[in-house]
A = this chain, B = another copy of it.
Amino acid sequence: MIPRYSRPEMTAIWSAENRYRIWWQIEVFAAEAMGKIGMIPAEDARTIRAAYDADALGEIDIDAIDAIEAVTKHDVIAFLTWAGEKLGPEKRWLHQGMTSSDVLDTTLAVQLKQAADLLIRELDVLLEVLKRRAEEHKLTPTIGRSHGIHAEPTTFGLKLAQAYAEFARNRTRLVAARDDVATCAISGAVGTFANVPPEVEVHVAAELGLAVEPVSTQVIPRDRHAMFFATLGVIASSIERLATEVRHLQRTEVLEAEEYFSPGQKGSSAMPHKRNPVLTENLTGLARMVRSYALPAMENVALWHERDISHSSVERYIGPDATITLDFALGRLTGVMDKLLVYPERMQKNLDRMGGLVHSQRVLLALTQAGLSREDSYSLVQRNAMKVWESDGQLSLLELLKGDDEVRARLSDSELAKLFDLDHHLKHVDTIFARVFAAQ
């Protein structure tokens, strides 16, 4: 966890305080269930639940718990000792027949669910921003580039609609990953419910908003977590894609968009061209990190027999790091896209800089449709296109074609001009926008 790449709400999910509160809930809800099925006195169970409802625990005294743990060398026992002081003699029923993993693994599930909910909320904010900016630039023409080379016109709104659709998919994936990982297991030392019956698990799961883990083995199976972290890796990769787009657009020679730059931002104005896309470069690096966590998560799956504890250290890193970093990255990306400075004039200028060569494909097609062979059409376009190219875009392909007799024999000036019409490329933007945003 790197403070500068952390936000308080997500960080709080991974705090000792939150962890202890979830432990407390699990123990209380378990006792409640045990009371109902007669495993412990019903009266005592109700007392425990009432204490919980009255927030008997109050502020969590982490130092006190740490002090106990220094003696007991056992984190769950230390917590229960401390928490027990808030109760009367009914405290003896806490954790009855349960194992530490029942508490720890279910707690991780709650934390990952909380983290996922937060990330989903952030995705929603990002989607909102992308939608707004996409609508804003729905018909802002810009050159589409394949291989970094000018291809055909598109609109800046379409770029953003693509990003919107991609993050909408990521939202769907994250919901699935959350539901996959949000299970409750209270099943004992090897998952047989030998000392605590399934009813307890069912009750705790319901109270926590988790699904019941159908079959556990002291631990919740780690394929669930692998899927969760792999999904975060995919989302991070999408962040990298959009960040890379911004970095490209901000290059000195392109300059079609810029990360927001407040007028007073220091160190810049003597070199006004030196506005560096540092936020999106930063996002590119953060994406590398989040992606890298998918691998150890997958290696965690093959635990030995009913469980070994090798997954635990991995999760101490990637549980907080992957979710905190992704949360920060989503927030940063949202900020970048929200305030992105967009320069339509420059987009148009870039679009025009090849002297109309980006329309050569349409001319080719038109000549063919006008009855010329593919080869002859090609040759006609080629001889004019090369002149434009050699002039570095100073000559205009349209004008040259108008002056080419063989071309003019097939296509009138107005037909030619129509081939250079940007609207041709924009005519299906509505359809695409309807596809992307309709379902939302």
Contact A270 B360 (CB under 8 A): yes
Contact string against B for A residues 210-242, beta-carbon threshold 8 Å, 1 for contact and 0 otherwise: 001011111001011011001101101110110
> Which of these, B146, B378, B436, contacts A306 with CB under 8 Å?
B146
Q: Is A307 an interface residue (CB 8 A)?
A: yes
Contact B298 A313 (CB under 8 A): no
- Given A223-B169, A253-B350, verify A189-B365 contact (CB < 8 Å): no
> Which of these, B221, B292, B362, B431, contacts A195 with CB under 8 Å?
B362
> Which of these, B144, B234, B431, contacts A193 with CB under 8 Å?
B431
Q: Is A311 an interface residue (CB 8 A)?
A: yes
Contact B424 A173 (CB under 8 A): no
Contact B354 A273 (CB under 8 A): yes
Mostly, the A contact residues are helix
Which parts of A244-276 form the interface with B (CB within 8 Å)?
A: 244-245, 247-248, 250-254, 265-267, 269-276
Specify which chain B residues have a CB less than 8 angstroms from the CB of A143 in the assembled complex: 252
Contact B272 A286 (CB under 8 A): no
Contact A313 B291 (CB under 8 A): no
> Of A166, A282, A311, A313, which is in contact with the most chain B CB atoms at under 10 Å from its CB?
A313
Specify which chain B residues have a CB less than 8 angstroms from the CB of A126 in the assembled complex: none
Contact B292 A197 (CB under 8 A): no
Contact string against B for A residues 339-372, beta-carbon threshold 8 Å, 1 for contact and 0 otherwise: 0000000000010011001101110110000000
Specify which chain B residues have a CB less than 8 angstroms from the CB of A432 in the assembled complex: 191-193, 198, 214-215
Specify which chain B residues have a CB less than 8 angstroms from the CB of A236 in the assembled complex: 298
In chain B, what residue has the closest Cβ to A176? B176
Contact string against B for A residues 141-166, beta-carbon threshold 8 Å, 1 for contact and 0 otherwise: 00111111111111000110110011
Which parts of A306-330 form the interface with B (CB within 8 Å)?
A: 306-314, 316-318, 321
Q: Is A381 an interface residue (CB 8 A)?
A: yes
Q: Is A296 an interface residue (CB 8 A)?
A: yes
In chain B, what residue has the closest Cβ to A274? B149
Binds B, one of A26-34, A49-57, A112-120, A382-390: A382-390
Q: Is A408 an interface residue (CB 8 A)?
A: no
> Which of these, B191, B237, B281, B353, contacts A158 with CB under 8 Å?
B191
Contact B223 A238 (CB under 8 A): yes
Contact B276 A218 (CB under 8 A): no
Specify which chain B residues have a CB less than 8 angstroms from the CB of A350 in the assembled complex: 253
Contact A302 B237 (CB under 8 A): yes
Contact B286 A313 (CB under 8 A): yes
Contact A300 B275 (CB under 8 A): no
> Of A170, A198, A252, A289, which is in contact with the most chain B CB atoms at under 10 Å from its CB?
A252
Contact B147 A309 (CB under 8 A): yes
Contact string against B for A residues 393-432, beta-carbon threshold 8 Å, 1 for contact and 0 otherwise: 0000000000000000000000000000000111111011
> Which of these, B221, B266, B308, B426, contacts A72 with CB under 8 Å?
B266
Pairs A–B under 8 Å by Cβ, sample size 23 = A144-B217, A145-B190, A145-B306, A146-B190, A148-B247, A149-B251, A149-B276, A162-B216, A162-B221, A176-B176, A192-B426, A194-B425, A197-B428, A198-B431, A227-B234, A233-B298, A247-B304, A251-B251, A251-B254, A252-B354, A276-B309, A285-B311, A289-B314
Closest 4 CB pairs of A and B: A144-B190, A285-B313, A147-B276, A237-B301
